[in-house]
Amino acid sequence: MFKVVQKLYSERVDSVDKYTTEALKSLDIAKSVKRKRIAITAGSRGIASISEVLKAIVMFVREAGGEPFVFPAMGCHGGATARGQTKVLASLGITEESIGAPILSTMDVEHVATVDGEPVFADKHAANADGIIVVNRVKHHPDIYSGIGSGLMKMMAVGMGKRKGAEVIHSDGVRSMIRLIPKFAEALISKLPIIGCVALIENGYHQLARIIPVAPKDVMVVEPRLLSFWKRVRPRLPFDDIDILIVERMGKDIMGTGMDTFVIGRMVIAGQPEPKKPYVRAVVTLDLTEASHGNAAGIGLCTAITKRLFDKIDWHSTRINTMTSGFIDRMRLPPVLPNDYAAIMYPLIAIRRRSGRELRIVRLRDTLTLHCFYISEGLLSEALSNRRLKVVGELQRLSFDDDGNLCPVSYEV
């Protein structure tokens, strides 16, 4: 295997506190928060510098004379319990101590509107606050090709709706998501005291690139523009034909599906076409992140997994998340192999290359880390001809320890 460094979109915010505060000032909401209880959303994704962003918002509200609190806006994640959702936030570095404000967690909701005959729900604490500030990263959605992504609208419609809202949104799979998320978001903006939104864009190195203020009335116009920008700059695997993709870890903090479906080249949703590229014959996944708290939603995207990953799965949380989304094919259990070596060897039986040097293998830390990865000799010529790639160091063996697990490698550049 060769270590490869990929040049990605690199714009970066040099001061999270400064740019978050400037974004809030531009929304001109200081007078709106004075002597008011202000709810601030916090999701379940591992967004770059998210605790710093939330802390800056808390400080802004408090300095303007308001009373801020943060609430989990993550649908059914955390096992669909208030305590579980608080634990998810803590694993992302979001605690009362780190952000300087109370975290009010509940699965109770208020019915705030009806759209197309469907009920629109909102977190009870948020619905009864004097004002709400919506915060989320804008990027593509792992289930949807076009139309909407994962951003401010999804945070309102699905995240703030808790389990009840998520179930309504996902009632007819992708079709209901595309149809209802924008409409539910519009209804929530109309019915609730949402006073401002903060959209976050990451660069290809999992750092904050932009902190964008968005007035509630502008969300429906601004978010699609931000999504279009993200799709132009988002990290991609630079190979369209891969035999085996080794993913060291999957997790809810990385993507709702554990892995980015557009990176691994598979969707596994009834009625949805599979991505045309990259073509990946086998996805071998080795571990589950601690921040997932056992939620292995998306496990059905794997060709094979290790017993190490299997032993970390909380089937209750995984089942709730999968059943709420409606994408039940993604919960199918792939073959469970005793260690990394066995899991990687498993698909090789079906991949008949003339020699080992022709194998097209990519090793990733996770699908969020695409600035550095490892490739086999079969991909070397493509890497050398790609101006955005730099092959670093000498050829090194794909080595295993005495337990049959991969020896650690560095993803530092």
Tell me which residue of 73, 18, 5 sits closest to 44, measured CA to CA. Answer: 73
Report the sign of the C-alpha dihedral through residues 186, 95, 369, 404, in that order.
Answer: negative
Tell me which residue of 84, 57, 83 sits closest to 69, measured CA to CA. Answer: 57
Distance, in Å, from the CA atom of 323 to the CA atom of 326, rounded to the nearest integer, reads 5
User: For strand 67-72 and strand 37-42, is the pairing parallel, antiparallel, or unpaired?
Assistant: parallel
Mean pLDDT along residues 295-312 = 97
User: For strand 109-115 and strand 118-123, is the pairing parallel, antiparallel, or unpaired?
Assistant: antiparallel
Give the number of C-alpha atoms closer than 13 A to the C-alpha of residue 102, restricted to the C-beta side. 10
Provide the pLDDT for residue 352: 76
User: For strand 279-285 and strand 304-306, is the pairing parallel, antiparallel, or unpaired?
Assistant: parallel
Provide the pLDDT for residue 413: 87
Tell me which residue of 211, 183, 209 sits closest to 197, measured CA to CA. Answer: 211
Query: Is a pLDDT exceeding 80 seen at residue 354?
Result: no
Distance, in Å, from the CA atom of 386 to the CA atom of 391, rounded to the nearest integer, reads 10
Average pLDDT taken over every residue of the chain: 96
Provide the pLDDT for residue 355: 79
Mean pLDDT along residues 75-87 = 95
Evaluate whether 375 touches 358 at the Cβ level (below 8 Å): no
Q: How confident is the model at residue 387 (pLDDT cuts 50, 70, 90)?
A: very high
Provide the pLDDT for residue 351: 84
CATH class of 16-233: alpha beta
Provide the pLDDT for residue 132: 98
Q: Which are the contacts of 98, defined by CB distance < 8 A and separation ≥ 6? A: 51, 55
pLDDT digits (tens, 9 = 90+) for 92-108: 999 999 999 999 999 99
Q: How confident is the model at residue 388 (pLDDT cuts 50, 70, 90)?
A: very high
Cα distances (angstroms) measured from residue 181 to each of 145, 153, 167, 177, 412: 15, 6, 12, 6, 38
User: For strand 131-137 and strand 194-202, is the pairing parallel, antiparallel, or unpaired?
Assistant: parallel
Provide the pLDDT for residue 149: 94
Q: Which are the contacts of 408, defined by CB distance < 8 A and separation ≥ 6? A: none
Mean pLDDT along residues 289-312 = 97
For tokens 């990290």, the residue is: 235
For tokens 């891969």, the residue is: 242
- Interhelix angle 162-169/315-325, nearest 10 degrees: 50
Mean pLDDT along residues 52-71 = 98
> Within the chain, what is the greatest distance between any pair of CA atoms?
72
Q: How many residues appear in the chain?
A: 413
Distance, in Å, from the CA atom of 90 to the CA atom of 103, rounded to the nearest integer, reads 10
Mean pLDDT along residues 332-360 = 91
pLDDT digits (tens, 9 = 90+) for 131-186: 999 999 999 999 999 889 999 999 999 999 999 999 999 999 999 999 999 999 99
Q: How confident is the model at residue 271 (pLDDT cuts 50, 70, 90)?
A: confident
Mean pLDDT along residues 238-267 = 96
Distance, in Å, from the CA atom of 139 to the CA atom of 210, rounded to the nearest integer, reads 12
- What is the 3-class SS of 24-78, one letter each residue? HHHCCCHHHHCCCEEEEEECCCCCCCHHHHHHHHHHHHHHCCCEEEEEECCCCCH
Evaluate whether 158 touches 165 at the Cβ level (below 8 Å): yes
Q: Is 1 exposed, middle or buried (0-12, 13-18, 19+ CB in 10 A)?
A: buried
Tell me which residue of 299, 327, 321, 322 sits closest to 172, measured CA to CA. Answer: 327
Predicted TM-score (pTM) of this structure: 0.93
Provide the pLDDT for residue 350: 82
Boundaries of every domain in the chain: 16-233, 236-392
